[in-house]
Amino acid sequence: MAEQLEASACFTKIREAAKGIDATVIPCPLLVGKLEMVPLAILDCDDFVAAVTGIRPRAIYLAEDEFEANEAVHAELLSDLGGDDEGEGGAGTLLDLPAVRQLIRRWQKHDNSVSGYTARFMVDGVLHFWGAD
């Protein structure tokens, strides 16, 4: 395998490959309801780029996740600690805890930065996705 690229550099490479084959780039994640029912090809960056240029899918789903510290922490609290979000003791109220506020403050410098990328396409019933670097 070639030297591992940073996520952003690989995403750029994939975007260029999509442009090179005139694929329609759809800027949202390709979501799957029941993944266990879908044939998957999990590819690293170079193999994904090779698949794009070799298979030449008509559409590729390329999405960037924009980071927002408050929102990311809130979502994690809600998902892991559960409860009524805004009610007493809900995840929304836990945002006021000093340790939580401190974590949010420390990471707010990355607000509005891109934190993650997804690149996927589906051909002949097989979902190809970049995910093995």
Partner 1 sequence: MEYCIFGAQTEDWYQTFDGELDLLVEELGASEEVRLRRNDAATRAVIVERAKVLAEHLLFKAPKATKAKRAYLASQLFPDSEDLDINMIVEEADNISWYLAHVPD
Q: Which residues bind partner 1 (CB under 8 A)?
A: 6-8, 10-11, 29, 31-35, 42, 65, 67, 69, 72-73, 76-77, 80-84, 87-90, 93-94, 97, 99-100, 103, 107, 110, 113-120, 129-131, 133
Which is nearer to partner 1, 79 or 124 (by Cβ)? 79
Least separation in angstroms between residue 83's CB and partner 1 is 5
Task: Count CA within 13 A, CB hemisphere, residue 29.
Answer: 10
Q: Which residues contact 7 (CB under 8 A, 6 or more apart)?
A: 116, 117, 133
Least separation in angstroms between residue 115's CB and partner 1 is 4
Which is nearer to partner 1, 22 or 129 (by Cβ)? 129
Reduced to 3 states (helix: H, G, I; strand: E, B; else coil), residue 21 is coil
**Alpha carbons 133 and 44: distance in angstroms, whole number:** 5
